[in-house]
């Protein structure tokens, strides 16, 4: 059966105390909205519609950056969830299938849960959860396994507020039925809004069926405050760490490793303490990431060893068996098989050939203040410590640079390049200079007394 998604993302989120739309606050390097879109994508929808409101341009841009096929509906006036769905439904004219309504600030609903909602036979299916503290959640009124209505907390009586089965807001129904039920909503409630949840009572009044699919409370976590955002980050990281270890990745101190929403790590890889993954990182099998590394937008191949205290920035590509050591930074650079960059070096906008050795303190001087330039280092080249490679420049295969050199011209294959000032010796001058400096220091002290 065909499926469509409507993701509600119009709210401002005033409790976040932020000018940024709530759904654009990030967990694991991605906006909450993107997490909701990823969750929804698990049911392979034919159509995905995001309903925007506050910060519509920014929300639309974030949605399309993740999925360029997404459709946008705009809710200019926020009059409730039913009104938001009504704004989206015209984009589904002609669609025949089931529609799932999700929320852009509810990032953790599992694929299996959405699958269970689609598999349910009732006309209207609502996702519910047993809350440890029901607080101000809407309550699900059930009897004999059937759902009879959803009551918002502010409209509930004392008996209804004692119910612990709570409403997540996520609803599934056939498109045609959803159109009919939403068209019949009214705003006669405490908030003066069109509640999507009222479609359950309307469906029952029309002789249709409704039921609840339940999930854990953690899946339905909605982010409304900065504290909720921190809780969401904790939940994501705990899940991702467990998933990694189950897939054969060794985490020596799991609680100190932070993953991004899209991190991919192969089995038999070992990750040390205090490693941070930004978006866009892939680590192949049998690699090793030592403590205190920061990785983003990079690819690390099988058998590579990174760190400790290394930083790989976007565009860093490490081939098999590359070694990047402590206090090394790599940006937009390709390191071929077996390259060694032991320590204290920066390689940016560069290509380093297989089994080249980069000495400590090497810098590719890639930026002239306006444009970036590339450095090419041939295979098995040996770059002496403290070499400055002023791009654009090429060091040939098996070539060598002398320590402390500033290389401004191409170095041919098999050549040695030394680009430094000649050392000059002045016998006895050191003692004379120190005596002179001591006299100057003493005279300045007397002037201040």
pLDDT in tens, 11-59: 888 899 999 999 999 999 999 999 999 999 999 999 999 999 999 999 9
pLDDT tens figures, 148-174: 989 888 888 888 888 999 999 999 999
Residue 367 located in a structural domain: yes
Dihedral sign from CA coordinates of 131, 134, 138, 142: positive
Q: Can you tell me the distance from the alpha carbon of 408 to that of 419, in angstroms, rounded to the nearest whole number?
A: 8
Q: Is 172 helix (H, G, I), strand (E, B) or coil?
A: strand
Q: Among this protein's residues, is 25 annotated catalytic?
A: no
Give the model's pLDDT for residue 67: 97
Mean pLDDT of all residues in 67-93: 96
The answer to whether the beta carbons of residues 250 and 266 sit under 8 Å apart is no
Residue 4 has pLDDT above 90, yes or no: yes
Q: Are residues 213 and 298 in the same domain?
A: no
The pTM for the full model equals 0.90
Which of 220, 249, 284 terminates a domain? The answer is 220
Query: 141 and 268, same structural domain?
Result: no
Give the CATH number for residue 245.
Answer: 2.160.10.10
Express each pLDDT in 342-386 by its tens digit.
999 999 999 999 999 999 999 999 999 999 999 999 999 999 999
For residue 188, the model assigns a pLDDT of 86
pLDDT the model gives residue 125: 97
Q: Are residues 265 and 133 in the same domain?
A: no
Q: Are residues 102 and 66 in the same domain?
A: yes
pLDDT, residue 97, reads 95
Q: What is residue 264's predicted lDDT score, i.e. its pLDDT?
A: 98
Other Cβ atoms within 10 Å of 435 Cβ, number: 10
Instruction: Please check whether residue 402 lies inside any domain of the structure.
Output: yes
Q: Is residue 423, in this structure, part of any structural domain at all?
A: no
Residue 334: pLDDT band by 50, 70, 90 thresholds? Answer: very high
Same domain, 124 and 253: no
Same domain, 210 and 257: no
CATH number, domain with residue 40: 3.90.550.10
Do 215 and 243 lie in one domain? The reply is: no
Task: Specify whether 305 is located in the same domain as 359.
Answer: yes
Question: Is there a domain that residue 436 lies in?
Answer: no
pLDDT(191) > 90 = no
Measured between alpha carbons, how far is 360 from 81 in angstroms, rounded to an integer?
60
Looking at the domain assignment, is residue 227 inside a domain? no
How many domains would you assign to the chain? 2
pLDDT of residue 404: 96
Quickly state the pLDDT bin for 192 (edges 50, 70, 90): confident
Q: Which of 298, 297, 255 is nearest to 273 (CA)?
A: 255
Cα separation, 30 vs 214, whole angstroms = 27
Average pLDDT, the chain: 95
Q: Answer with the one of 174, 194, 220 that is the final residue of a domain.
A: 220
For residue 155, the model assigns a pLDDT of 83
Q: Which two tokens stand for residue 293?
A: 């590394």
pLDDT band for position 423 (50/70/90)? confident
Q: Per the residue annotation, which of 66, 74, 294, 343 is the catalytic one?
A: 343
**Cα–Cα distance, 322 to 448 (Å, whole number):** 58
pLDDT in tens, 114-154: 999 999 999 999 999 998 888 878 899 998 889 998 988 88
Is the same domain home to 318 and 390? yes
Q: Is 442 part of a structural domain of the chain?
A: no
Residue 449 has pLDDT above 80, yes or no: no
Distance CA 5, CA 385 (A): 57
Q: What is the pLDDT of residue 78?
A: 87
User: How many percent of the chain have pLDDT more than 70?
Assistant: 100
* Maximal CA-CA distance, the chain: 106
What is the extent of the structural domain holding 56?
Answer: 3-220
Q: In the prediction, which pLDDT does 411 show? A: 98
Which of 129-159 are b and which e, b meaning 16 or more Cβ less than 10 Å from the residue's Cβ?
A: bebeebeebbbbbbeeeebebbbbbeebeee
Residue 148 included in any domain = yes
Residue 243 has pLDDT above 80, yes or no: yes
Structure tokens at 136: 């101000």
Do residues 136 and 273 both lie within one domain?
A: no
Same domain, 362 and 266: yes
**70's tokens:** 């997404």
pLDDT of residue 410: 98
User: What pLDDT is stored for residue 444 in this prediction?
Assistant: 85
Share of the chain above pLDDT 90, in %: 86
* pLDDT number for residue 425: 93
Residues 400 and 283 in one domain: yes
* Residue 191: inside a domain: yes
Express each pLDDT in 274-325 by its tens digit: 999 999 999 999 999 999 999 999 999 999 999 999 999 999 999 999 999 9
Check whether the bond before 392 is cis (ω within 30° of 0): yes
């Amino acid at each position: 059966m065909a499926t469509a998604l409507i993701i509600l993302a119009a709210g401002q989120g005033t409790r976040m105390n932020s000018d940024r739309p709530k759904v654009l606050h990030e967990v694991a390097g991605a906006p909450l909205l993107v997490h909701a879109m990823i969750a929804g994508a698990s049911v392979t929808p034919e159509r995905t519609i995001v309903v925007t409101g506050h910060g519509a341009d920014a929300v639309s841009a974030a949605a399309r950056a993740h999925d360029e096929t997404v459709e946008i509906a705009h809710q200019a006036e926020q009059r409730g969830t039913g009104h938001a769905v009504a704004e989206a439904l015209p984009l589904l004219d002609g669609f025949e299938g089931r529609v799932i309504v999700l929320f852009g600030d509810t990032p953790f609903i599992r694929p299996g849960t959405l699958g269970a909602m689609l598999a349910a036979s009732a006309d209207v299916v609502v996702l519910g959860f047993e809350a440890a503290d029901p607080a101000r959640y809407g309550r699900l009124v059930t009897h004999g396994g059937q759902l009879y209505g959803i009551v918002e907390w502010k409209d509930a009586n004392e008996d209804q507020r004692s119910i612990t089965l709570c409403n997540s807001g996520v609803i599934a129904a056939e498109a045609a039925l959803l159109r009919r039920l939403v068209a019949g909503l009214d705003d006669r409630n405490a908030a003066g809004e069109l509640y999507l949840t009222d479609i359950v009572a309307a469906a029952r009044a029309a002789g249709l069926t409704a039921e609840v699919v339940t999930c854990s409370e953690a899946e339905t976590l909605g982010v409304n405050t900065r504290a909720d955002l921190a809780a969401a980050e904790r939940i994501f990281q705990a899940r991702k760490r467990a998933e990694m270890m189950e897939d054969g990745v060794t985490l020596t101190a799991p609680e100190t490793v932070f993953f991004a929403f899209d991190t991919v790590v192969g089995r038999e890889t070992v990750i040390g303490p205090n490693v941070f993954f930004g978006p866009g990182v892939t680590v192949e099998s049998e690699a090793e990431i030592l403590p205190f590394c920061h990785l983003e937008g990079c690819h690390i191949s099988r058998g590579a060893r990174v760190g400790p205290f290394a930083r790989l920035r976007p565009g860093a590509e490490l081939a098999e068996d590359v070694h990047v050591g402590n206090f090394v930074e790599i940006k937009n650079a390709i390191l071929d098989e077996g390259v060694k960059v032991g320590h204290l070096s920066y390689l940016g906008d560069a290509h380093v050939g297989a089994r080249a050795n980069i000495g400590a303190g090497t810098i590719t001087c890639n930026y002239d203040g306006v444009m970036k330039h590339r450095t090419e280092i041939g295979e098995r080249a040996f770059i002496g410590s403290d070499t400055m490679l002023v791009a654009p420049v090429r060091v040939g295969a098996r070539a060598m640079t002398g320590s402390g050199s500033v290389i401004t011209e191409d170095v041919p294959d098999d050549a040695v390049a030394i680009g430094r000032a000649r050392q000059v010796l002045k016998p006895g001058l050191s003692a004379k200079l120190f005596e002179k400096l001591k006299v100057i220091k003493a005279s300045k002290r007397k002037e201040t007394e």
